[in-house]
Amino acid sequence: MGEVAHLIGNGKSSGFYSPAPGLKITCNLPPFEVPNTYTTVMVDFKMMNAIHKGSIQVPGDWVLGARPHKWMEMRNDFYIKYSKQIKEFYLVLPKYAPNYTDFNCGHMATHWVANKLQRKEIHMYGFDSIFEFDTTSMSDTFMASVRDNMNTEKLTTNWRPIWHGIFNEFPNTQFILYHDIGKSQIPLPPNVEVRTSNKGKTAIRKKNDPPKPFSREEIVNSSV
């Protein structure tokens, strides 16, 4: 199946993505259509509820975490309706992740690709909390999320050590991060590279602009 995977996250730097050979894996819903997506990874109750209410549609195959697994245990009708889309439930919780709540969608997608698919080169777009205190997400447009300074600091403080754990757990995997800042907020081991450009593409948010929530216009006008 090849050695390369592309993970398209929900942060503004997902705009660096450009079609290239390799598997395409999305987290929740990216800000633009990603043709030929291999699977979509989801970990939150809120995503399941949004699908259940019809607020969003997530096409293709799904890889789901522990909370969607619990959701479907409680709602058998939901499971029956969407069972054909479920590729698998991925319930692995690494020892460096204190709980499933802190093991976010990007974490699980990255761990699943490195651990289960054993890809040796993983390109990562839209993982902004590694670089800055910006947790805004495409998901904010259809799910209520608290993005005040206190919660943002808490999330990034909880999330960043897990990234450090993932990168070190898979020393033979090359992780390539895309972000305009270029300098991460965590120590990066030798198997992690940061790129600030990709075939001339830039992120939706221009360099040095302050973080701000996605707008509907940005989502509609963004494309690969």
- pLDDT tens digits, one per residue of 117-135: 999 999 999 998 888 876 6
Structure confidence at residue 184 as a pLDDT band (50, 70, 90): confident
Domain count, the chain: 1
Residue 191 has pLDDT above 80, yes or no: yes
Cα(179)–Cα(175) distance, integer angstroms: 13
Residue 216 has pLDDT above 90, yes or no: no
pTM metric for this prediction: 0.84
Q: What is the pLDDT of residues 59-79, one digit of tens each?
A: 999 999 999 999 999 999 999
Residue 139 has pLDDT above 80, yes or no: no
Average pLDDT in the 37-56 region? 93
Question: Residue 139: CA atoms inside 13 Å, Cβ hemisphere, count?
Answer: 31
Question: What's the confidence (pLDDT) of residue 210?
Answer: 36
CB atoms under 10 Å from CB of 138, counted, come to: 26
- Residue 113 φ/ψ, nearest 5 degrees: -65, -40
Residue 103 has pLDDT above 50, yes or no: yes
Is the CB of residue 23 less than 8 Å from the CB of residue 41? no
Structure confidence at residue 221 as a pLDDT band (50, 70, 90): very low
Question: What's the confidence (pLDDT) of residue 213?
Answer: 35
Cα(119)–Cα(122) distance, integer angstroms: 7
Strand partners, 192: 175
Determine the longest span between alpha carbons in the chain, in angstroms.
47
Residue percentage of the chain with pLDDT more than 90: 61
Cα(223)–Cα(144) distance, integer angstroms: 24
Average pLDDT in the 77-93 region? 97
Structure tokens, 140: 């904010």
Strand partners, 2: none
Q: What is the Cα 90 distance to its own chain's centre?
A: 15
Domain that holds residue 69: 4-221
